[in-house]
Each structure stands twice: as C-alpha cells, then as structure tokens.
Amino acid sequence: MCGRYASIKAPADLADEFRAVDATDGAARADYNVAPTKQVVTVVQRHPRDADGTPDPDTVERTLRLVRWGLVPSWAKDPKAGARMINARSESAAEKPAFRRALSSRRCLLPADGWYEWQRGPEHKQPYFTRNADGSSLAMAGIWEYWKPKDDPENAYPDGLVTAAVLTTSAVGVLAQVHDRMPLLLPPSAWDAWLDPDTPASADAVAALLAPPSPELVAGLEVLPVSPMVNNVRNNGPELLAPLAPDDVAEPLQLDLLAGPNPA
C-alpha cells in the first residue's frame, strides 16, 4: 500500500521534469510527510476548454494541479468516503465502481521524492523510505475524480472537489521484505500513454502499464530505514529522510534481492 510519502521539489522543477505547465497557483509546498486528505501535486493531461466549457478535441494540455488525496466517487453522498480510498489496487480497479470510470479516462501521475512503508517486526514496525537513487522524482500512477454534492445549502463546495488515489501493485524484489504492496511506478517512457485522456483503460498500451514495475526500474531504487518520527503526521521536516545507522535497525533488509522477483 502507500499511506505516506514525501513531495518536496518546487513546482517549477516538477513542471520541467514532467514536461508540464504549473497550474498550482503558488499553493504547493514542500511536504516531507504527505498523509491522506492532504492537498497533493498531480500531473494531469486534459483537453482545454473554451469560455463555454467546450473541450478542444485537437489539443491537450499537461499541467500540475493540486487535488485532495483520497478519491471521492462522483456518486458519493459524503466526501468523507475519500479518506478510505487513498489507494486502488491496479489488478481490480477496472472492476470497482469507485475507480473504473476514473481509470478509463482520468488517469494522473503523483510525483514523489519517495514513499514510506512499515516493516512489521515481532515487537515494532520499522519505517523505510524508498526513493530513486539518482534523485529523480518517482511517478506514482494515479486516478482522479470530480465530485460535487447534489445538495449544498451552505455552499461548502462551490467549485466541487477534485480528489485522487494512488494505484498499488505487488511489491518487487527487496521491497517485498518491507510490505507485499507498493505504489505502481511508471518510467518516463510510459507517461504519455498513461496520461492520454483519449485512450481507454482497456487499450493494450494502458493495460500493460498496470503490471508490476520491471526489475530494472526497481534496481534504480534505494530503500532506507528511517526514524519512527514519520509515524506522527505532525512531524514534517528533512530529518524524516535521514537514514538510520545499520546498528539501529533490528532486521536489516537483504539488499542482494533488490532487482529480483517477488520471492512470494
């Protein structure tokens, strides 16, 4: 699963990395401890609309946008449902009423500097932070949805609510020693196909991207034990990413399994 991650790069840098236009209006902030229901940066690609709301079918725009983490289906009566839908399993999202419409035409990327996961031990849970060894952003595959209440007498949602979920998949290599699930990571070569709003999820180009990431992609990751300070969402600073000394880790990972298949 993916329940916490870090997103600390400036929007201008992300816009350059993901070949997008920054539409966050200066509201994005570095976050070392992204948690469910927070506002998160996403990369979306849509047909621009004119003043009357009519989309231009011949043009697409890729932008950075802020959305709330935790997908609220369009048919939900209460946006609180999103707190339970931060993740969607890539193997079954196309079959789930809450996710299938978004997967078909509202796919996105969630840039991350890395994600946290907890390895369960006999007496404790050791948090690990996984990131690209070269410092480049991870592109977590996601889906987004637009929600607006049918009845909003207090005008609490005048513009509706845009929310997103991270797709997850089976953990690969050493990552399976920490948890049996991981975010679905996409390499840059897959971004165009994933973000294309005109390609349905059933298309071969998209369906193939729902498989676990390749061993080659996983081999470029580093998995670092970090302080349990990350357990508290109120802790939010660079100290959360500082690796622990080997002697401070009860059960170190077997790093020789990094690029291998899931041993399960």
d(CA 201, CA 100): 9
Any residues with CB less than 8 A from the CB of 97 and at least 6 apart, and which? 73, 75
Tokens for 145, please give them.
Answer: 């949805």
DSSP summary character for residue 81 = G
**Burial status of residue 31 (CB atoms within 10 A of its CB: 0-12, 13-18, 19 or more):** middle
β-pair type (161-170, 221-225): unpaired
- The active-site residue, picked from 2, 91, 154, 222, is 2
In 3D, which of 61, 191, 69, 212 has the Cα closest to residue 136?
A: 191
Q: Are 63 and 78 in contact (CB under 8 A)?
A: no
2 flagged as catalytic: yes
d(CA 163, CA 32): 20
**Burial status of residue 26 (CB atoms within 10 A of its CB: 0-12, 13-18, 19 or more):** exposed
- The active-site residue, picked from 61, 91, 108, 117, is 117
Residue length, the chain? 264
The alpha carbons of the chain give a radius of gyration, in whole angstroms, of 19
- Active-site positions read 2, 117
